[in-house]
Amino acid sequence: MPYPSAPRLDLVDQLHGRPVADPYRWLEDADAPETVAWSAAQDTLARAHLDALRGRDRLAARLEALLATGAVGAPAWREGRPFWLRRAPGQEHAVLLTRDPDGTERVLLDPVALDPTGATTLDAWAPSKEGTRLAYQLSSGGDEESLLHVVNVATGERLDGPVDRCRYSPVAWQPGGEAFFYVRRLAPGDVPAGEEQYHRRVWRHVVGADPATDDLVWGEGLDPTNYYGCSVSRDGRWLVVTASAGTAPRDDVWLFDLESDGPPAEVQVGVDARCSAHVERDGRLWVTTDRDAPRGRLCVADPAAPQDWTTVLAEEPDAVLEDWVLLDDGVLAVLRSRHARSEVALHDGDRVTPVPLPGAGSAGGLTADPRGGTRTWLSWTTATTPGQVLVLDATTGDVDVWTGSPGSVELGEVVATPLEWTSYDGTTVRGQVLSPRGVPDRPRPTVLYGYGGFGVALTPAFTASALAWVEAGGVWVVANLRGGSEEGEAWHRAGMREAKQNVFDDFASCADALLEQGWTTPEQLGVYGGSNGGLLVGAALTQRPSAYAAVVCSAPLLDMVRYEQFGLGRTWNDEYGTSADPEELGWLLSYSPYHRVEPETAYPAVLFTVFDGDSRVDPLHARKLCAALQWATTSDAPVLLRAERDVGHGARSVSRTVGLSVDTLSFLARRTGLDL
């Protein structure tokens, strides 16, 4: 394939005495004329190839039908009023709804009504404690910059906003709805150049006031990469503030007595462990932590002595504590996951009552009425069940459907099978195989999907792309690699920093197991990952290029020597390491995909997908590795770069989702032999 010309620079950095070549550094500048021209030529090449692939129209129609099942989230309750998200068939984005006291269901926020182009997303929302006001955050074009607004719930009247620089900001309302605590970055002119994405602070804001007059609450003099959380107790007395340096798996936590002018008390500071806390309606401080318990435990303390914890729920040996809610009479509804499958139980003193759930799936969003009660709501899905919301009554133990999936679809015969294999160092790793039911012949075209980082767990979920692939006769595999949290924080740490190669070994050994068990062959095996998962498949293709027929690498990190200099990279150095440290540079160079490209190598077919609004992972990573592979490969398998405008790293509209999935799945199908 005639690729666009990409001159190789004779550029070699000397880092801690190591020569590190960077021949495509010029592609880091997206606005340079030569980069613009190269990118335009790549667009033309990619579209010509992708648009010519077979089965695209049928695939698009099936994806649209599967996505028409919609989506629904568990409700947040305020004084008997529920607030929840729902995406109905035909809607591009989920809308925020509420139910009035007379039972009328009403749309509060519809992103498409605000922006018919579909480029605006609802990032977050928080009703006041009385349910009379709503703070919400919007961003446009995928930038995730989150402009904060406040409206009157009853009338829809705009009361405040937009307040800018609120990316990743929680909102903690004080009683009465006149003020709240939130997180906002300092103005660009007040921070060093290049650090505009950092330097967050916790502020107190009075609704309708000029944000420039907000009271600074916390954050001055602390780590500039800190992310903050905050919550206010139902009675309004206690404010909890948490801080973590970037994505480091440790938290500092402080407790403020808002009836006192004194300094906050430390709940946990300077400890290498996760910790979250809030004061419940029983007046006690409840602490969820993996301190001395990698799978999690729940503790309580007196706010007057917030470091004196008493364990209420001890760590379980093979289940991870995910969430809990306090119900009447001290009963706890507790959500755990066991090998990435959700379990719910009711804890009443020493008595534990398992709650039957409808299958092997994923629960989340455990909520309850802050006023009290015996019911809790949770979202629920499986690999073949669209999302719904269940309600559990602790008095009877009954589980009912509070609201089903907004739409329905007739599924093909798809079966989910647990997968277990042994990684190269003897570690047992698990996952899930989706395959056509009742079709005995193997091997089959297979997609292996993974993530393996930042403590993110891959749990069963109704996924349109996976189901469309299996309905067409393929196999879809999700691997629960180290680096995730499927087996707790120790599992995460076994796949970060100097142990990152464990993640890639788990993935490669999964591919080996699929071959050994007869699911597929190297000529029929494709791999797929995005973001940190893009790094995963980038490492897979550069470490074992002959093992895979096709690779889809989406929004990836690939130049691990310079990743900290772009986007939010500086916040990830606790996960990966930093090239500023000689030893850690060695870790990074050992697997950095961009630096492992070898000339005269037959690389598999590769499709990079990037998004120009991505403010987390800069598309420069994909540009640089794309150019390097196009230069190095000796095979006739294509190496393509698909760039998408006005969308970012996170949420996207349904039509955008369909377009991306059609391109990626048809590419994988063409290279693995699946007839769509």
Confidence of residue 521 (pLDDT cuts 50, 70, 90): very high
Q: Which residues pair with 530 in a beta bridge?
A: 554
List, for residues 327-370, the tens digit of each pLDDT value: 999 999 999 999 999 999 999 999 999 999 998 999 999 999 99
Indicate if 114 and 129 belong to the same structural domain.
yes
Q: pLDDT above 70 covers what percent of the chain? A: 100
Indicate if 112 and 33 belong to the same structural domain.
no
Nearest 5 degrees, angle CA 556-CA 557-CA 561?
160
Q: Is 382 within a domain?
A: no
For 539-673, list the strands marked E by DSSP: 550-554, 605-611, 639-644
Indicate if 39 and 154 belong to the same structural domain.
no
Indicate if 437 and 517 belong to the same structural domain.
yes
CATH number at residue 278: 2.130.10.120
What does the pLDDT average to over 20-48?
A: 98
List, for residues 622-673, the tens digit of each pLDDT value: 999 999 999 999 999 999 999 999 999 988 999 999 999 999 999 999 999 9
The closest of 317, 314, 311, 354 to 335, measured between CA atoms, is: 354
Confidence of residue 371 (pLDDT cuts 50, 70, 90): very high
List, for residues 201-244, the tens digit of each pLDDT value: 999 999 999 999 999 999 999 999 999 999 999 999 999 999 99
Are 519 and 572 spatial neighbours (Cβ–Cβ below 8 Å)? Answer: no
pLDDT at 600: 98
Quote the DSSP letter at residue 497.
Answer: G
Indicate if 148 and 33 belong to the same structural domain.
no
Query: Which pair of structure tokens corresponds to residue 17?
Result: 């005495």
Identify whether 649 is a catalytic site residue. Answer: yes
Q: Is 562 within a domain?
A: yes
Identify whether 231 is a catalytic site residue. Answer: no
Q: Is 355 within a domain?
A: no
A 10 A CB-CB count for 178 gives: 13
Indicate if 458 and 585 belong to the same structural domain.
yes
Distance, first Cα to last Cα, the chain: 24
Residue that is last in its domain, among 279, 294, 313: 313
Interatomic CA distance for residues 637 and 417, integer angstroms: 32
Report the domain count for the chain: 2
What does the pLDDT average to over 8-37?
A: 98
Indicate if 129 and 260 belong to the same structural domain.
yes
A 10 A CB-CB count for 420 gives: 11
Q: Which residues pair with 180 in a beta bridge?
A: 173, 205
Phi, psi of 302 (to 5 degrees): -80, 130
Tell me the pTM.
Answer: 0.97
Indicate if 595 and 522 belong to the same structural domain.
yes
Residue that is last in its domain, among 259, 292, 313: 313
The closest of 537, 460, 462, 528 to 666, measured between CA atoms, is: 528
pLDDT at 533: 98
A 10 A CB-CB count for 100 gives: 11
What does the pLDDT average to over 167-194?
A: 97
Indicate if 255 and 170 belong to the same structural domain.
yes
* Dihedral sign (CA 208, 237, 312, 296): positive
Q: Is 439 within a domain?
A: yes
pLDDT exceeds 80 at position 438: no
Question: Containing domain of residue 442, as a range?
Answer: 12-64+416-672
pLDDT at 442: 85
Residue that is last in its domain, among 271, 286, 313: 313
Indicate if 452 and 486 belong to the same structural domain.
yes
Mean per-residue pLDDT over the chain, rounded: 97
Contacts of 565 (CB under 8 A, 6+ apart): none
Q: Is 387 within a domain?
A: no
CA 226 to the chain's CA centroid: 18
A 10 A CB-CB count for 198 gives: 19
pLDDT exceeds 90 at position 602: yes
List, for residues 379-426, the tens digit of each pLDDT value: 999 999 999 999 999 999 999 999 999 999 999 899 999 999 999 999
Are 460 and 476 spatial neighbours (Cβ–Cβ below 8 Å)? Answer: no
Indicate if 282 and 265 belong to the same structural domain.
yes
Q: Is 185 within a domain?
A: yes
Q: Which residue type sits at 628? A: A
Interatomic CA distance for residues 386 and 73, integer angstroms: 12
Are 558 and 622 spatial neighbours (Cβ–Cβ below 8 Å)? Answer: yes
Inter-helix orientation angle 464-471/56-67, to 10°: 130
Quote the DSSP letter at residue 572.
Answer: G
Quote the DSSP letter at residue 213.
Answer: G
Are 120 and 138 spatial neighbours (Cβ–Cβ below 8 Å)? Answer: yes
CATH number at residue 602: 3.40.50.1820
- State the catalytic residue, choosing from 531, 653, 661, 666: 531
Q: Which residue type sits at 291? A: R
Nearest 5 degrees, angle CA 490-CA 491-CA 495?
110
- State the catalytic residue, choosing from 278, 339, 347, 649: 649
Indicate if 17 and 89 belong to the same structural domain.
no
Interatomic CA distance for residues 351 and 356, integer angstroms: 16
The closest of 648, 651, 653, 641 to 44, measured between CA atoms, is: 641
What does the pLDDT average to over 285-296?
A: 98
Query: Which pair of structure tokens corresponds to residue 148?
Result: 């904060």
Q: Is 407 within a domain?
A: no
In this structure, are strands 605-611 and 639-644 parallel, antiparallel, or unpaired?
parallel
Nearest 5 degrees, angle CA 371-CA 372-CA 374?
150
CA atoms within 13 A on the CB side of 15: 19
Query: Which pair of structure tokens corresponds to residue 676?
Result: 């769509």
pLDDT at 1: 78
Contacts of 242 (CB under 8 A, 6+ apart): 228, 229, 230, 251, 252, 253, 254, 275, 276, 277
> Which residue intervals of 52-165 are DSSP H helices?
56-67, 111-114
pLDDT exceeds 90 at position 540: yes
Interatomic CA distance for residues 331 and 371, integer angstroms: 14
Q: Is 119 within a domain?
A: yes
Interatomic CA distance for residues 367 and 370, integer angstroms: 9
Q: Is 404 exposed, middle or buried (0-12, 13-18, 19+ CB in 10 A)?
A: middle
